[in-house]
Amino acid sequence: MAAPLQARLRNWLEAHAADLIAVLAELVRIPSVVGAEGPAQAFMAEQYRACGLEVDVFEADRAVLRTLPAFVDSGFDFAGRPNVVAVWRGTGGGRSLILNGHSDVVSPEPLSGWRHPPFEAVIVPGGCYGRLYGRGAQDMKAGLIANLFALRALQACGVRLKGDLILQSVIEEEAGGGGGTLACFARGYRADGFIASEPHWHDICIAHVGVLYARIVVEGKSAHAGRAHQGVNAALEALPILAMLRDWDRERADALHVDVLERLDPTARRSCHLNVGVVRAGDWPSTVPGRAEIELRLSFVPGETEAQVKAELEARLAAVAQRSPWLREHPPRVEYFGWHTEPWLQDERHPFVQEFHDTLLALGVVQPPPILAGVTAGLDTRFAGLFGVPALAWGPRGAGLHGCDEHVELDSVLDAALALAVFAARWCGLAEAA
């Protein structure tokens, strides 16, 4: 791509920085917690229409999605929570590109921990343009707006692309992405490359672990605490299970190492985790608890499958039960719920990844240069791999995602928009001299 176009794109973005910041602030002020994304999606549809794009606003079809093994059912009704897909048609003969982002955010609780109210989009001075605080500012409304302004910059600079550029604003990524990005693929949206502009500034994310949520239910026998010997305490029967889970986590941590998953934090030497997130038993001090539940999140690495880790969990649970006279006769059961996904691993040698990496290196917007790495959490990029589309995640810099005082560095939003615009021109191809 000619250097003059890159300079023109940069100049346009800098001249319209106030507009970008205002649009981002307006989006952050919409409290689009998972399950309530409708108003934010309507806002994004309006932004896309203003660019003269073909805009498809559609609600996911649960009946269709349930036929797909990768579907994660959030349990939320899809009515009033559409996905929004906008297409800028190319002239033909080029490669297509999807720029994807989610409008949903996690709960801002506890509100008492915030210095700045989570839905007021407060801007604090610092750097070139300051920091914008708010729930979703970093994860990932900044990425959504970077995608939008990358396209706006290309249009304003008189560019015509050969390949189609597709913008997606999706729902419920935070709840598994089943009714969002997966629904877009199920509707037929494909491209020669897919970028989720998630907040990965110093790394280009090309892999993530598999994730499985499970609930272990231990049944006991309730009794009055004054006659506790007549009952069976489910909480105490669950203790050997908790110890097994702790030891299994350590065993997996020692045995399973995947280079790409450890590049971001090589000193940790951790590719996967087994986290006991919830333990509950009983509801009254004077009652022997007749039921205990353990909820866990188990991550697993490329080379393992969801079926394999399920089988091993169940086998280890059965082994623990054999050591308890009560559990032998009343075996604990496993219920799977919520998040479940196989590991995702994008070939880092793929031209899509290499050309994007080269684009960031040439622009120099990220210092030190970003590395190609994987993460120990899940992303919507995994759906692209299921449909044969090369994918990566990269986007604006900030801090506090999923925590109090989440914020984004506004200069990085402009730099991200520039990088995405330059790469789109390079990847999709220029239809005419620009």
Q: Which of 139, 173, 174, 411 is catalytic?
A: 173
The whole-angstrom separation of Cα 375 and Cα 264 is 8
Q: Is 347 a catalytic residue?
A: no
For the chain, the straight-line distance linking the first and the last C-alpha, in angstroms and rounded, comes to 9
Q: Which of 37, 56, 104, 380 is catalytic?
A: 104
The whole-angstrom separation of Cα 375 and Cα 260 is 8
CA distances from 288 to 216, 217, 223, 240 (A): 19, 16, 5, 18
Q: Do residues 104 and 171 lie in contact, with contact meaning Cβ atoms separated by under 8 Å?
A: yes
Task: Residue 215: name the closest of 314, 139, 315, 127 by CA.
Answer: 314
The whole-angstrom separation of Cα 51 and Cα 152 is 7
Mark residue 136 as left, alpha or beta (left: phi above 0; alpha: psi -120 to 50; beta: remaining). left
CA distances from 286 to 194, 226, 233 (A): 57, 8, 12
Sign of the four-CA dihedral 222, 226, 228, 229: negative
Would you give the distance in Å from CA 412 to the centre of its chain? Answer: 19
The whole-angstrom separation of Cα 423 and Cα 197 is 13
Q: Read out DSSP for 121-166?
A: -EEE--TTT-EEESTTIIIIIHHHHHHHHHHHHHHHTT--BSS-EE
The whole-angstrom separation of Cα 18 and Cα 129 is 9
Number of H helices, E strands in the chain: 14, 19
CA distances from 318 to 243, 328, 329, 337 (A): 14, 8, 11, 20
Q: Read out DSSP for 188-221?
A: T---S-EEE--S-SSEEEEEE-EEEEEEEEEE-B
Task: Residue 13: name the closest of 177, 136, 128, 99 by CA.
Answer: 128
Q: Is 46 a catalytic residue?
A: no
The whole-angstrom separation of Cα 209 and Cα 192 is 24
Residues serving a catalytic function are: 104, 173
